[in-house]
Chains A and B, each alone.
Chain A
């Protein structure tokens, strides 16, 4: 079974802190993603990566950065956390083969509260 593991299920941070959310997948997937989910706003893409050291902005990249130094790991960084970044963060991965993207698999989510 594909496993996408997020480092923390629940985090509480203070405004201005630097926050790292880590995600690891064990299926050698090329594509990795960070989404945030908020009530009434659905799932919104923050950043994605289709290869090591490659990153692309999603729909709401402001206030976030990412790092992909190894194929299996994709990190989301909040340089200076703010209260409006309180949310559920979801990591996902998918393969790419034969010119086609595959099924998307999600981690369990990280619920971040910024005080």
Chain B
């Protein structure tokens, strides 16, 4: 099956700093999504991005499908950005997604 690796596993930032999270995957995909899990456990969909670049406020994501990686950029980080960021990928399997292990982000005031 498809393997998904996220890096770094942990990240500590000072408020206002920028960061880049990476997701590598081992096979062709047609479905790639980024999620944020807040400290209360709720998973929020950030981006649906099987290819190309998208931006939403301070967050943006880029997927280079031919090279099998995706990047999530967080600019001017805020304490509310803290939590775990997951990348998940899939390929025509009834919506089934394989999740990476996540990057745990802590933003300090």
- A-side residues, CB < 8 A to B, are 30-31, 33, 35, 42-43, 45, 48-50, 56, 58, 88, 90, 92, 94, 96, 100-106, 108-109, 111
Contacts and interface: CB of A to CB of B under 8 A. Distances in A.
Contacts of B43: 90, 92, 106
Interface string B18-47: 000000000000110101000001111100
Contact of A102 (B41, B48, B98, B99): B48
B41 A88 contact: yes
Contacts of A92: 43
Nearest to A102: B48
Interface of A is mostly: strand
B90 interface: yes
Contacts of A56: 94, 96
Contacts of B41: 88, 108-109, 111
Which of A49, A88, A109 counts the most B-chain CB atoms under 10 A from its CB? A109
